[in-house]
Amino acid sequence: MTSTCARIAVLAVCLCAGNAEGAHAAEPAGFFGVVPQATPSSAELARLQGVVGTLRIPIYWSECEPAPGEFDFAALDALVGAAADHGIRVQPFVFGTPSWLAAEQARPPLAPRARAAWGDFLEVLVKRYGRGGEFWRGRSRRQPIRLWQVWNEPNFVVFWRPWPRPRAYARLLHISARALRRADPRARIALAGVAPVNSGIRTWVFLRRLFRVPGVGRDFDIAAIHPYATNLPQLDYQLRQARREMAGAGLGGRPLLVGELGVASRGDFPSAFVLGLGGQAEFLRMAYGRLLEMRRSWRIVGVDWFALRDAAEPDPNCSFCQGAGLLDLAERPKPAWWALRQTVESNGVR
C-alpha cells in the first residue's frame, strides 16, 4: 500500500439475514462501490464513472496530522476532488493514531489526550469534506461525504493493538459519534467493518459483545462486516450470523454495508481465495446476484468490491490481495471487471 494520506485500503461492510426476494428494481449507483489498493489514476476514475457510485478509502490520521495541529490534506484533496469530478462519492474509514500519541497506529486513541485529539481531527474532516465543507466551496462538482466509518476491522489484531476489545471499540465509537455530530448533526456513522480473521475475535462474537455495551446503539446508524468467502454458502453463513446478532440486540432494523468482499485471480501465496481469472469473475457474478436478491430483506445499502487494481507487492497480512483487482497492474480490465459492469448494467444503473 502507498504511504500517503489518500492511500487506499480494504473496505468495510455489513450484512443481514432474512428471506430471499427478487431485486428487479434499478439499484442506485451508490449501491456499487470499489476499494482501491493504491491511489486510482485519472484513467481508472474515468473507467469507474457511471459503473460505481462510491470509492471506499482510508483516511489515515497519522498521515494527515503528522504533528499536533499541522495538517497535510494535499493528497486527500486531490483524490476527493478527482472522484467528485467523475460523479463518485468518497466513502472513508478513519484510522491510524499518529506517532506523537502512540507507538503504533493500530493502538486506538483512548487515553485522555488522544481522545481529545481524535475528536478534534474528526471535526476538522467533517468541516472540510462534509456537507457545506470548505473544500467544496467554488467547485462545480460536489460530492460531500455524508457517511463516516470509525476505524477498520477492530476485531483483527493487525488493526487493534494490543488485542481486540469490543468494549474499548464502543468507547472509541462513542467519542467519535459525539465529535462527528457536533460538526454535522446529520452525519451518518458506520461501524468499522469486521472480518473473518484468525488473529482476533470472530465476527459475530465481536458484534455480540459490542452490542451488549449499554447505549452503543445510539452511536451508529449503519452496521458493517467484511464477509470474505469463496462460495455462496460461506457468504450466506457470515451474513446470517451477523444479522442474528443484530436482531438479538434489537438492532435488526439497521442497514448494513458490505464494505469489503473479494477473491483473487492470482496470488503469491497459497490461498483458497485465488480462483483464477474465470473463477474470480464467476464468484463476483454469483456474490452480487445473491446480495442483490437479498438486498431488501438483509437491508444491504452497499457492496464494495476489494479491490480495484492488483497490488505490485504482496501483503504479509493478506494471502490474496495482490491479485484481487478488477484490473491488472497495467490497469487492463480482467474478466471480473466486465462481470461487474454487466451486473451494474443489468440492474438499470447505466
Residue 156, phi then psi, degrees to nearest 5? -115, 130
Average pLDDT over residues 279-283: 98
What is the tens place of the pLDDT at every residue in 147-205? Answer: 999 999 999 999 999 999 999 999 999 999 999 999 999 999 999 999 999 999 999 99
Average pLDDT over residues 260-272: 93
What is the tens place of the pLDDT at every residue in 27-80? Answer: 556 899 999 999 999 999 999 999 999 999 999 999 999 999 999 999 999 999
| Mean of pLDDT over the chain | 92
Domains of the chain listed by start with CATH number: 29-346 (3.20.20.80)
Cα dihedral: 9, 243, 289, 226 (round 10): 10
Structural element, H or E, at residue 302: strand 300-306
C-alpha cell, 245: 446478532
- Burial class of residue 26 in the structure, from the number of CB atoms within 10 Å of its CB (0-12 exposed, 13-18 middle, 19+ buried): exposed
Residue with cell 451508529: 220
Q: Would you say residue 23 has pLDDT above 70?
A: no
Residue 278 CB neighbour total at 10 angstroms = 13
What does the pLDDT read at residue 247?
Answer: 98
